[in-house]
Amino acid sequence: MNPQTEYVTLPVGDGTSMRAFVARPAAKPAAGLLVLQEAFGVNAHIRDVAARFAREGYLAISPELFHRTGPGFEGSYTDFAAVMPHYQGLTSAGLEADIRAAFDWLQASSDSRSLPTGAVGYCMGGRAACHAALAVPLACAISYYGGGIAPNPMTPGLLDRLKDLKAPMLFFWGGRDQHIGAEQIQAVTGALRAAGKPYVNVEFSEADHGFFCDARASYHAAAAAESWALTLAYLKTHLAAATRKADA
């Protein structure tokens, strides 16, 4: 059954307002999910992913993280130059304010205001998933090929903040990713290990950056299918545990 979808407008703590795409499951949701966009916006692919999660029973929300510089922006996968002004306009404070707004909406949409919630993000959203695990009380977070967690030419990274993660995390990487090299992955896992944070690290040796997105040339069907199964299992494990804790 197709989920019910809609756009909602959320007030953000910095005084801005932000549109978000919502996909609702057919039955009462057992958990909420932040679905965090690639650098190309809350486009057809991200909306489809949110709907896929809704079909699995999650109340999914995808906030438009570029709302300050380009409300409604949807970029082309072959034109990263058009993305750059919006990407460069992001700040950690702004991202975390947006995440809090989306998280609060999920909680307000629950009868108990304690809806167990996770986060999953892709590319730029993979870094945003780390911000989510820093900013709000998640049951878990999942990062797909998250650029900018380790330092790169465009961002100083988040390594010094990983010690403050509030949730376990699952990381997916592509072994053929030229944007995120082995040294960056090792920097992330090294920081997590040093801080004693719970995490799972998965590398698909034959996959490139963006391997989950079937709208990109780098789509890798096997890695996408396997990571989807792992994602659902990880969410089920941690969100079910959060539900049991809330009900205790």
- Which percentage of the chain shows pLDDT scores above 70? 97
Alpha-carbon distance of 193 to 172, in angstroms, equals 16
pLDDT score at 230? 98
Q: What is the pLDDT of residue 72?
A: 97
The one-letter amino acid code at 13 reads G
Count of the separate structural domains present in the chain: 1
Q: Which of 195, 144, 139, 132 minimizes the C-alpha distance to 38?
A: 144
User: Is residue 28 predicted with pLDDT exceeding 70?
Assistant: yes
Q: Is the pLDDT of residue 166 over 60?
A: yes
Instruction: Please state which of the ranges 26-30, 65-69, 139-143, 167-171 shows the lowest mean pLDDT.
Output: 26-30
pLDDT at 113: 61
Average pLDDT over residues 37-54: 98
Phi, psi of 99 (to 5 degrees): -65, -40
The per-residue b/e assignment along 176-197, b for 16 or more CB within 10 angstroms, e otherwise, is: ebeebeeebbebbbebbeeeeb
Q: 242 pLDDT band (50/70/90 cuts)? A: confident
Q: Which of 177, 208, 213, 220 is catalytic?
A: 177
Reply yes or no on whether the pLDDT at 248 is more than 70.
no
Instruction: List the domain range (segments joined by +) for residue 103.
Output: 4-247
Over residues 207-213, mean pLDDT: 98
DSSP letter at 231 equals H
* 177 included as an active-site residue: yes
**pLDDT reported for residue 111:** 66
Annotation says 209 is catalytic: yes
User: Angle, to 10 degrees, between the axis of helix 124-135 and the axis of helix 92-108?
Assistant: 70
Beta bridge partners of 201: 171
Quick one: average pLDDT of 204-208?
98
Is the C-alpha dihedral spanning 4, 130, 115, 237 positive or negative?
Answer: positive
Identify the active-site residue in 67, 123, 220, 238. 123
What's the pLDDT band for 205 if we cut at 50, 70, 90? Answer: very high
pLDDT (tens digit, 9 = 90+) per residue, 83-128? 999 999 999 999 999 999 999 999 998 765 689 999 999 999 999 9
Examine the pLDDT at 1 and tell me if it is beyond 80: no
Q: Give me the chain's average pLDDT, please.
A: 95
Mean pLDDT of 206-210: 98
Q: How confident is the model at residue 240 (pLDDT cuts 50, 70, 90)?
A: confident
Predicted confidence band of residue 30 (pLDDT cuts 50, 70, 90): confident
The CATH number of the domain where 182 resides is what?
3.40.50.1820
